[in-house]
Structure 1
């Protein structure tokens, strides 16, 4: 194969390349890929994690924005002709387009810190096409995703992720496992979209608005945050104490507020 020039990580793409083979093996074990599965990797970089997966599945799709990494990836993984590289921005990519014969996809990736939250929201909007997701993220983001009601980090991201998915924080990865080393710890999270939502609403945009309003001033009470939206009688009807702060409500209660408001509006 032709020789390609070494690639220096680019800050604008949030690149931190995973090089710890022990961590890579542990991630692959958590994913537990199987032959024939449709696995999609976001930001494969130089293919460290990709090779551990495609050696089992024998085929794989990857979405890479940095065009200079693509020839490196193809050289490093030249033994795998069933690797399909999509040169695209994952924030705009239609992941549902990869579903074939009703076989949902599995999504993995070491996500750039600077776009991890909006990218997760983009993927959640396509949750019906996804079996599960395994991501390397900044540890604080994983903690937010997996937080429960009452936790300090429980907020908008927690509620919306847990509306769609079961969320499991798996293990922490230190900065020394990357090149260049980030300044914070990372962690692996598993997000498994529900086949049937435990609590559902006909208008997810309305739910997003309800959650956003609830957490816009998280130190204030529900009574204050929903002033002009819900009154004392509404809270009584819902069975929710208006003196609580928003982090005390679970997904079920946010969905109940949403459905109640939809009913009132109709």
Structure 2
């Protein structure tokens, strides 16, 4: 079981840490609950810890892997090569919407995300949220804590707001560093993302939300009457029943939604 991990040296530039703990692997597969006929897509299969386990449960699997050596391993695997469709490219530039349209299905996306691209990749996926049924990702503990944080929590951040605007999220399982090779310096958490279908997808509204959250959290210690003074007037805050004395971490996702709505209608 461990032999392949000794023969392959992880590449630092790709942030590779390969999952090998069978209990964790089984728990992730059970959480995903893959079914025949679904459009399953794995980001960063690596040495195939999840890929091998999920393969018997489905009829087709698409994988995105940037590492040429690892894509060759998958292409040459006696069993996997008949079921997997491989894109050797950077997931950060993959067009998930186009792929979903070609499949005529919503995508079920999963993977052990490299720590160095997890946050930008999540934001990239939000741009394609209408093409996604659900996502299951293993993430650095710190990132997972920020995704799941509620207002008033020290981990509540711009990432929390933007993510909770698009998705409901749930922790699935904690993953100790020892479950990975090479062993990272931090633990991980698997998080389930369920897109919120009622979320407003207007580019103008989303741009406004980006502006509001960036201004608020870039000066998170300031009261919003100061951090947002060039975007929303005190009168505007009062009309929305949002206290000007609040700070960024005390404003709910719904209130950020209201602020973005105000900015959209009043053109900033």
Distance in structure 2 (CA, Å) of the matches to 1:232 and 1:200: 27
Asked if 1:118 is matched to 2:126, the reply is no
C-alpha offsets along residues 162-219 of structure 1, whole Å, 9 cap, x if unaligned? 111001112210011011000000110001111222x676521111111111111111
- Structure 1 residue 136 corresponds to structure 2 residue 138: yes
How far apart are the structure 1 equivalents of 2:257 and 2:17?
37
| Structure 1, 45-54 or 14-23: larger mean CA deviation | 45-54
Report deviation, 1:261.
Answer: 1.7
Match of 2:58 in 1: 57
Which runs of at least 4 in structure 1 moved beyond 6 Å after TM superposition?
none
Which range is displaced more, 184-193 or 51-60? Answer: 51-60
TM-score, normalised by the number of residues in structure 2: 0.93
Q: Distance in 2 between matches of 1:26 and 1:105?
A: 21
Residue number in structure 2 paired with 1:247: 249
Shift of 1:247: 0.8
**Number of positions where the alignment pairs a residue of Structure 1 with one of Structure 2:** 262
SS of structure 2 residue aligned to 1:91: helix
- The 5 Å alignment of 1:1-266 reads 6-76=7-77, 78-99=79-100, 100=102, 102-197=104-199, 202-265=204-267
- Higher percent of residues as helix: 2
Instruction: Report the CA distance between 1:92 and its aligned residue.
Output: 0.5
* Residues 79/244 of structure 1: CA separation in 2 closer, same or farther (3 Å cut): closer
Residue 79 (structure 1) shift: 4.6
SS where residue 113 of structure 1 aligns? Answer: coil
Q: Alpha-carbon deviation of 1:82?
A: 2.2
Unaligned runs of 5+ in 2: none
For residue 262 of structure 1, report the CA deviation from its aligned partner. 1.8
Distance across 2 between alignment mates of 1:247 and 1:171: 26
Change (3 A) 1:170 1:79: closer
1:95 to partner: Cα distance? 1.3
Spell out, residue by residue over 1:92-149, the C-alpha distance to the aligned partner (whole angstroms, 9 max, x if none). Answer: 1111222245310111010010111000000011000000000001011011011111
SS of structure 1 residue aligned to 2:197: coil
Give, in whole Å, the separation in 2 of the partners of 1:24 and 1:209: 39
Q: Secondary structure at the match of 2:254?
A: helix
User: In structure 1, what is the Cα distance between the partners aligned to 2:103 and 2:15?
Assistant: 35
